[in-house]
Structures are given as C-alpha cells and as structure tokens.
C-alpha cells in the first residue's frame, strides 16, 4: 500500500463530495492513519463526514487564521501523532465581494481581499511552519489548486489568491527542501463541491470544461484529483517538489476547444 504506516493530516473536509474527503478515504485505503482538521460552525459537518470514512477519523481544532490555533497545532498532535508524514492543504475562502462582483476586482475592499489572501494562500506556509516540529525527511505537503495562469469567470480575487498559493508553494518547497520535506500542488479541474457551488459563474466554468478536455471531465468525480494527491503523499515522488500537477482532463494544455464534429 502506498501510505502504509504513514500519518496524514488533512484539512478542508466538509462533505463526502469534497476532494479532501476523497483524499482521506483513499489515504486510509492505502494504509494511512488520517487526522482531520476543522473549526467553528463547519466542524459538525467535518465530524459527520469523518464517521463516513472507512475508519472514523479524529477531528482536531484548527482555524488557519488564528495564530493561537497554529501555535498550538504541533503540541496538540504530538502526544498521539509524534510524526506527520503527509499534509493535505485544501483550504480556501473569499468573502462575497471577492467573487463575481459586477465590478470585478474593483468591487472588493482591502479587508476582504486580505482575508482571501490570508486564508487561501498565506495559510499554506503558515500550516507548514506550524507543523515543522513533526515533519520528517520524506514528509510530503500537497495543496489543492485551480489553474491560476489564466482568468476565469467570476473567480476574481480567488484567482489572484490561487496565483499567490502557487508562488507560496514554490517558496515553501525551497525552504523545506533542505529538511527533506516535499511541497507540491494538484491543480484540479472544476468539481461540484459545496465550496464550488457558492462561486457565482461556476456553472459557466464547468459547462465548458467537458468540451475542452481531451480526456473528458466529470464535475461530480473528485477521485482523479484525490488519487494524484495520495500519489504525491507517497514515497513514489521522492525528488519532486515545487511542482504543480494538473488533473483536469488536459484542459491546461488546450488553447481552444475543437469544433464539435457533425453527426455521422
């Protein structure tokens, strides 16, 4: 099994439709001990989902925007989990004015933009830094991304935050590389999760994806992205870090959709 004997901390599990939930399920199937994080009002959702995993997982408190939670994280884990072999960063949030505003980027205030950047980008190195005492040579951090090389309808400041996340992952890979810790991202195609449904214009993104994807794309299937995450958590990519692996049916490689052939 790919993750036999490893302990993996997974953030961002809300419902079984989330990519993070599939990461947790497949990680367990591949032999890992999985620990989930959540906080506040959504913790009850995470706890219900944790019970639906093959092995019910422990849920610990973590709000990545809380300095106290980050400072306490390693200590809260260490008594039961003295070593963390894998981390899944599946965290993103943007206030309403940062997504789909009629004025685009001009519609958001700095406090809302700051929240978006803090939660969606700064949180990756912040989480990695908080866990440094428990990470060992061979540990792997994998974040979930949405391709930030181009613009998307209504994605606005979240798109900017994803670009920052991509850069932050490379710098975090640089800083943790000497300790033998890898940091990579999986840029997944659109998945119809609870978070995605809250994005104005998400339907416009998902409706065009199938046409552009050479391999096709199922917006209701998070498993391809989750399998890539688990592969990167494993020991099968020992010299890969600072990388973005696209799991999007090939859309990132296509400039324009081919015309639909006429019926035979």
pLDDT in tens, 52-77: 999 999 999 999 999 999 999 999 99
Domain that holds residue 157: 7-253
Please name which of 211, 193, 210 lies closest in space to residue 202, comparing C-alpha atoms: 193
Residue 259 included in any domain: no
Q: What is the per-residue pLDDT for 211?
A: 83
Tokens of 219: 């917006």
> Which candidate in 6, 81, 155, 227 is catalytic?
155
Residue 261 included in any domain: no
The Cα–Cα gap between 129 and 124 comes to: 9
Q: What is the per-residue pLDDT for 78?
A: 96
**Can you list the residues of the chain whose pLDDT is less than 70?**
194-201, 256-264
Residue 100 included in any domain: yes
Q: What is the per-residue pLDDT for 208?
A: 80
Residue 1 included in any domain: no
Model confidence, pTM = 0.94
Q: Which residue has the tokens 């205030």?
A: 109
Q: Which residue has the tokens 């050479």?
A: 214
pLDDT in tens, 176-200: 999 999 999 999 999 987 666 666 6
Please name which of 48, 53, 44, 43 lies closest in space to residue 8, comparing C-alpha atoms: 53
Residue 258 included in any domain: no
DSSP letters for 20-54: HHHHHHHHHHTT-EEEEEE-GGGHHHHHHHHTTSS
171 is catalytic: no
Residue 132 included in any domain: yes
Q: At what angle do helices 19-29 and 223-233 cross, to 10 degrees?
A: 50
Neighbours of 127 (CB within 10 A): 22
Q: Which residue has the tokens 């428990």?
A: 134
> Which candidate in 51, 162, 171, 197 is catalytic?
162
Domain containing 228 — which CATH number? 3.40.50.720
Alpha helix ranges (H) inside the chain:
19-29, 43-50, 67-78, 110-117, 123-131, 156-176, 194-197, 202-212, 223-233
Contacts of 132 (CB under 8 A, 6+ apart): 74, 176, 179
162 is catalytic: yes
Q: Based on the structure, what is the number of domains in the chain?
A: 1
């Amino acid at each position: 099994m790919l993750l036999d004997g490893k302990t993996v901390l997974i953030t961002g599990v809300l419902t079984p439709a989330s990519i993070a939930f599939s990461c947790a399920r497949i990680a367990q199937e591949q032999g890992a001990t999985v620990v989930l994080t959540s906080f506040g009002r959504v913790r009850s959702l995470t706890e219900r989902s944790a019970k639906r995993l093959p092995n019910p997982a422990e849920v610990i408190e973590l709000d990545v925007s809380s300095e106290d939670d980050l400072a306490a994280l390693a200590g809260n884990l260490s008594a039961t989990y003295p070593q963390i072999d894998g981390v899944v960063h599946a965290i993103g949030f943007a206030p309403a004015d940062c997504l789909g505003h009629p004025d685009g980027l001009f519609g958001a205030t700095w406090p809302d933009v700051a929240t978006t950047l803090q939660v969606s980008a700064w949180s990756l190195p912040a989480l990695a830094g908080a866990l440094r005492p428990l990470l060992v040579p061979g540990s792997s951090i994998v974040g979930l991304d949405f391709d930030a090389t181009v613009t998307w309808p209504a994605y606005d400041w979240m798109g900017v935050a994803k670009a920052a996340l991509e850069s932050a992952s490379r710098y975090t890979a640089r800083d943790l590389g000497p300790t033998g810790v890898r940091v990579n991202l999986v840029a997944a195609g659109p998945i119809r999760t609870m978070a995605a449904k809250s994005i104005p214009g998400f339907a416009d993104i998902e409706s065009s994806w199938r046409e552009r994807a050479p391999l096709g794309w199922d917006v209701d299937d998070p498993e391809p992205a989750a399998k890539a995450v688990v592969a990167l958590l494993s020991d099968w990519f020992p010299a890969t870090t600072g990388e973005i692996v696209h799991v999007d049916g090939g859309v990132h490689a296509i400039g324009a959709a081919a015309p639909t052939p006429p019926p035979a």
